[in-house]
């Protein structure tokens, strides 16, 4: 994921204040990652924050969860927590990886301080690479930095290309995805399409490749091409794996996450294009149902509030006013300023049509 990507999808969750004394420490059950993650899936970020801020000696997982929740409520507080994360876990690459994500997000949201934040993001990613020289994930993040950041902020297309080769030397399949990403950013779409076509033809990579190519078309406003690629995901399936200790779990979790994101993207495509509304509604209804029921880590996936908002938009487009009202009633909180603005506008539109 790009460190310059919007932080609304740095998901995880929140946990409610304890009913006991304000000075009492939360119990073990309430501070478990599983419990807090479930609250996060529901958008209950304040709950997660209130519990984890009281925890002394936070683990890497707890810091990740806390910072993800803070990114959905107060990015400046998330920045402070990311600095603390590095201090507390200075030898763990994951601290620097998260720190870079926060700095990148701050850079994208701050005109005057963007260069400073970008410099910090790059430094943290380079430190993460030093600490985990065989970890593909950190090389991917550094590659994304060089692809997305302007040269004045440290971005370098030549460095990005070198990193695709490094990624390929560690994991050939990930190297193919990295090359395709690089070619898209370098305006070599024919080469990227050739790679994605080959990946879509393979069972173990077709969902992810379809999501990435479909997302590219969506962002480029090539809506017909995006629909042709993403609509296939509406009927795609992933063989269920329940045992997280299984050697098949990682692949299952990754494929499920990509499939879910693809369905959300399909719904968003219907909103943006004004076409294929019924397909978009079906995709978002599946997304909401499967997101709620899944046992995978939903970090980086859009939260339920966003799914409800997009679904209500589509329902309004076909004048299903009552359904749109009921869908909006499921929204908890307002996530951020952009979300609040979109929600306010949608409510006004519904009021006019009612």
Structure tokens at 181: 């990403």
Rounded Cα gap, residues 139 and 218, in angstroms: 26
Residue 20 has pLDDT above 60, yes or no: no
Q: What does the pLDDT read at residue 5? A: 41
Residue 13 has pLDDT above 70, yes or no: no
**How large is the average pLDDT for residues 295-324?**
94
CA angle 225, 149, 186 (to 5 degrees): 45
Q: What does the pLDDT read at residue 2? A: 41
Residue 114 has pLDDT above 50, yes or no: yes
**How large is the average pLDDT for residues 182-207?**
96
3-class secondary structure per residue, the chain: CCCCCCHHHCCCCCCCCCCCCCCCCCCCHHHCHHHHHHHHHCCCHHHHHHHHCCCCCCCHHHHHHHHHHHHCCCHHHHHHHHHHHHHHCCCCHHHHHHHHHHHHHHHHHCCCCHHHHHHHHHHHHHHHHHHCCCCHHHHHHHHHHHHHCCHHHCCCHHHHHHHHHHHHHHCHHHHHHHHHHHHHHCCCHHHHHHHHHHHHCCCCCHHHHHHHHHHHHHHCCCHHHHHHHHHHHHHCCCCCCCCCCCCCHHHHHHHHHHHHHHHHHHHHHHHHHCCCHHHHHHHHHHHHHHHHHCCCCCCCCCCHHHHHHHHHHHHHHCCCHHHHHHHHCCCCCCCCHHHHHHHHHHHHHHHHHC
Q: What does the pLDDT read at residue 51? A: 94
Residue 30 has pLDDT above 80, yes or no: no
Residue 208 has pLDDT above 60, yes or no: yes
Q: What is the CA radius of gyration of the chain?
A: 20
Residue 119 has pLDDT above 80, yes or no: yes
Rounded Cα gap, residues 85 and 343, in angstroms: 34
Q: How many percent of the chain have pLDDT more than 90?
A: 81
End-to-end Cα spacing for the chain: 41
For residue 350, the Cα-to-chain-centroid distance in whole angstroms is 29
Cβ neighbors of 267 (< 8 A, separation 6 or more) are 280, 281, 283, 284, 287, 307, 310, 311, 314
Is the alpha carbon torsion for 122, 126, 127, 131 positive or negative? positive
pLDDT in tens, 122-171: 999 999 999 999 999 999 999 999 999 999 999 999 999 999 999 999 99
Q: What does the pLDDT read at residue 29? A: 53
pLDDT in tens, 228-273: 999 999 999 999 999 999 999 999 999 999 999 999 999 999 999 9
Axis crossing angle, helix 157-170 with helix 136-148, rounded to the nearest 10? 160
Q: Which residue has the tokens 């006004």?
A: 348
More reliable by pLDDT, 125 or 22: 125
Q: What does the pLDDT read at residue 19? A: 27
Each domain of the chain, given as residue ranges in start order, spans 1-132, 204-302, 306-354
pLDDT in tens, 278-291: 999 999 999 999 99
Rounded Cα gap, residues 252 and 353, in angstroms: 43
* Mean pLDDT for the chain overall: 89
For residue 67, the Cα-to-chain-centroid distance in whole angstroms is 14
More reliable by pLDDT, 22 or 329: 329
pLDDT in tens, 39-84: 888 788 899 999 999 999 999 999 999 999 999 889 999 999 999 9
Predicted confidence band at 87 (pLDDT cuts at 50, 70, 90)?
Answer: very high
More reliable by pLDDT, 25 or 291: 291
Q: What does the pLDDT read at residue 55? A: 93
From the list 33, 36, 38, 104, the residue with the least C-alpha distance to 71 is 104
Q: What does the pLDDT read at residue 72? A: 85
Q: What does the pLDDT read at residue 336? A: 77
Q: What does the pLDDT read at residue 23? A: 30
Q: What does the pLDDT read at residue 27? A: 42
Q: What does the pLDDT read at residue 332? A: 86
Cβ neighbors of 1 (< 8 A, separation 6 or more) are 101, 141, 144, 300
Asked whether 48 and 40 are in contact (CB, 8 A), the reply is yes
């Amino acid at each position: 994921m790009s460190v310059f990507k919007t932080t609304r999808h740095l998901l995880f969750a929140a946990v409610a204040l304890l009913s006991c004394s304000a000075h009492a420490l939360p119990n073990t059950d309430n501070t478990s990652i599983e419990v807090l993650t479930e609250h996060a899936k529901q958008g209950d970020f304040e709950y997660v924050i209130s519990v984890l801020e009281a925890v002394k000696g936070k683990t890497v997982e707890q810091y990740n969860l806390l910072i993800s929740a803070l990114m959905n409520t107060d990015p400046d507080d998330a920045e402070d927590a990311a600095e603390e994360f590095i201090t507390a876990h200075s030898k763990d690459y994951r601290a620097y990886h998260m720190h870079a994500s926060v700095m990148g997000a701050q850079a994208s949201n701050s005109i005057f301080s963007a260069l400073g934040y970008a410099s910090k993001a790059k430094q943290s990613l380079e430190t993460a690479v030093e600490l985990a020289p065989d970890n593909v994930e950190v090389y991917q993040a550094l590659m994304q930095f060089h692809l997305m950041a302007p040269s004045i902020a440290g971005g370098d297309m030549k460095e990005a290309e070198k990193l695709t080769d490094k990624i390929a030397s560690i994991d050939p399949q990930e190297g193919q995805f990295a090359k395709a990403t690089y070619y898209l950013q370098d305006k070599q779409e024919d080469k990227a399409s050739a790679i994605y076509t080959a990946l879509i033809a393979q069972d173990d990579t077709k969902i992810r490749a379809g999501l990435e190519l479909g997302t590219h078309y969506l962002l480029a406003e090539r809506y017909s091409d995006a629909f042709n690629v993403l609509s296939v995901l509406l009927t795609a399936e992933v063989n269920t794996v329940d045992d997280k200790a299984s050697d098949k779990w990682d692949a299952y979790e990754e494929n499920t996450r990509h499939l879910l994101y693809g369905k959300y993207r399909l719904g968003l495509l219907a909103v943006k294009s004004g076409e294929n509304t019924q397909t978009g509604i079906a995709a978002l209804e599946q997304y909401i149902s499967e997101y709620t029921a899944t046992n995978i880590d939903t970090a980086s996936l859009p939260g339920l509030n966003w799914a409800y908002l997009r679904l209500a938009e589509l329902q309004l487009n076909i004048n299903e006013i009552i359904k749109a009202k009921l869908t909006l009633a499921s929204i908890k909180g307002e996530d951020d300023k952009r979300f609040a603005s979109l929600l306010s506008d949608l409510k006004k539109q519904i009021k006019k049509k009612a």
